[in-house]
């Protein structure tokens, strides 16, 4: 683009933490591609809001658990913005509360396909566009992890926690792999945060039930997580790579 504005793609960007990242990114001067998997109405509403705020944004449908969708999503960004400067691996799923001895192979395969394989595929496509090895001009990647990776989520969703542990490891390994190619790779690890993900996991009351167990006695907000993401994407974090920033209220 002729005005030199940086561009950002956020997976799972139509709600929750992803939407908060998109809003803050527009405020920081980015062009934003909002990925969604099924809720087009939410994505379109967010894009309209971002445009009304004077930003340049568009929605792109795609299931990160599908390689074909991931490739098509990045190609749509290529066509719209002709560059990619920043990428947030935010899309992810959680399932219903269950013990490991109650989990089906189908559940486990879906969890790992979306949260782990999908994140790897998206990172792959981002690196292909940003890396100086591939003719790119560098960039920044932020992966959304979870405090569950450290805590294990026993009795709730150990599979989700394990998938986020994989994200932490991928963050550290990829950061070192592309450190000399102009790309910084970091992760943000939220704790209990007020978003819709708890309801999608069958526990709409989880925030209220858990907040008294937290050191700060309250859940975090999507904006608080988004602020950490925007910091790691920014030039203010120019010497930070391979870091996992806990945004968990001390948990």
Instruction: Name residues of the chain where pLDDT drops below 70.
Output: 1-3, 196-204
pLDDT of residue 194: 86
Catalytic site residue from 30, 157, 160, 231: 160
Strand partners for 190:
247
pLDDT of residue 91: 97
Write out the two tokens for 82.
Answer: 């002709």
29: left (phi over 0), alpha (psi -120 to 50) or beta: left
The whole-angstrom separation of Cα 246 and Cα 168 is 11
pLDDT of residue 214: 86
User: Which CATH number applies to 7-247: 3.30.470.30, 3.40.50.720, 3.30.70.1560, 3.40.50.10490?
Assistant: 3.40.50.720
- Is 239 noted as a catalytic residue in this protein? no
Domain ranges within the chain, ordered by starting residue: 7-247
pLDDT of residue 211: 78
Backbone phi, psi, residue 38, to 5°: -145, -30
The per-residue pLDDT for range 70-117, each reduced to its tens digit, is 999 999 999 999 999 999 999 999 999 999 999 999 999 999 999 999
């Amino acid at each position: 683009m002729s005005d030199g504005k940086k561009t950002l793609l956020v997976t799972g960007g139509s709600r929750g933490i992803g939407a908060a990242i998109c809003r803050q990114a527009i405020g920081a001067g980015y062009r934003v591609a909002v990925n969604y998997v099924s809720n087009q109405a939410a994505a379109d509403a967010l894009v309209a809001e971002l445009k009304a705020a004077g930003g340049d944004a568009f929605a792109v449908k795609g299931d990160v658990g599908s390689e074909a969708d991931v490739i098509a999503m990045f190609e749509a960004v290529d066509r719209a913005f002709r560059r990619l400067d920043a990428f947030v691996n935010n899309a992810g799923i959680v399932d219903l509360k269950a013990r490991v001895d109650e989990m089906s192979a189908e559940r486990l395969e879906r969890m790992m396909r979306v949260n782990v394989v999908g994140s790897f595929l998206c990172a792959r496509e981002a690196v292909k566009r940003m890396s100086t090895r591939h003719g790119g001009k560098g960039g920044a990647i932020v992966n959304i992890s979870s405090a569950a990776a450290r805590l294990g989520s026993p009795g709730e969703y150990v599979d989700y926690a394990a998938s986020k542990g994989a994200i932490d490891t991928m963050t550290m390994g990829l950061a070192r792999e592309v450190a000399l190619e102009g790309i910084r790779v970091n992760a943000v690890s939220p704790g209990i945060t007020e978003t819709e993900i708890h309801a999608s996991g069958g526990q709409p009351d989880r925030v209220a039930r858990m907040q008294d167990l937290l050191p700060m006695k309250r859940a975090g907000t999507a904006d608080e997580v988004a602020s950490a993401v925007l910091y790691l994407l920014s030039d203010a974090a120019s010497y930070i790579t391979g870091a996992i920033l806990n945004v968990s209220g001390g948990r």
